[in-house]
């Protein structure tokens, strides 16, 4: 199970269309279909009912959707924790009056 498979699955569950998933995520529709089938094979459960050109989420798919969303949210939080955030907190500067006149105004 890969993160991108979970992303594909969540977008597919929202759009109910593999072609739209491909357009949104930048993959070919055939790649989306193949990745979802691999995910279904790995989980030994059918996540979508395929009906002509459309798809419908199965009961197992609805249960898995909650898990997939939790996993993706956890991954996003983990990434945010380690991204550079810039300067945080309060910065106090103290200096003698003569230094303030000549040095601090340009700062």
Which pLDDT belongs to residue 53?
78
Which pLDDT belongs to residue 83?
77
Residue-wise pLDDT tens for the chain (107 aa)? 999 999 999 999 999 988 899 999 999 989 999 999 999 999 999 999 988 878 999 999 999 999 999 999 999 999 888 877 776 678 787 778 877 777 776 65
Which pLDDT belongs to residue 37?
94
What pTM was computed for the model? 0.73
With beta carbons less than 8 A apart as the criterion, state whether 47 and 32 touch: no
Q: Among all chains, which residue has been given the structure tokens 């300067």?
A: 87
With beta carbons less than 8 A apart as the criterion, state whether 55 and 17 touch: yes
Residue 34, CB half-sphere, CA atoms under 13 Å: how many?
5
Which pLDDT belongs to residue 97?
80
Q: CA-CA distance, 9 to 3, in Å (whole number)?
A: 10
Give the residue among 63, 65, 15, 8 at the shortest CA–CA distance from 37: 8
């Amino acid at each position: 199970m890969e993160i991108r498979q979970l992303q594909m699955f969540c977008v597919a569950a929202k759009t109910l269309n593999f072609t739209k998933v491909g357009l949104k995520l930048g993959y070919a529709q055939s790649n989306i279909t193949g990745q979802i089938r691999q995910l279904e094979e790995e989980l030994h459960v059918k996540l979508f009912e395929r009906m002509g050109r459309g798809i419908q989420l199965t009961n197992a798919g609805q249960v898995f959707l909650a898990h997939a969303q939790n996993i993706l949210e956890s991954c996003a939080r983990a990434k945010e924790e380690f991204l550079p955030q810039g300067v945080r907190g309060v910065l106090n500067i103290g200096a003698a009056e003569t230094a303030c006149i000549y040095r601090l105004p340009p700062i």
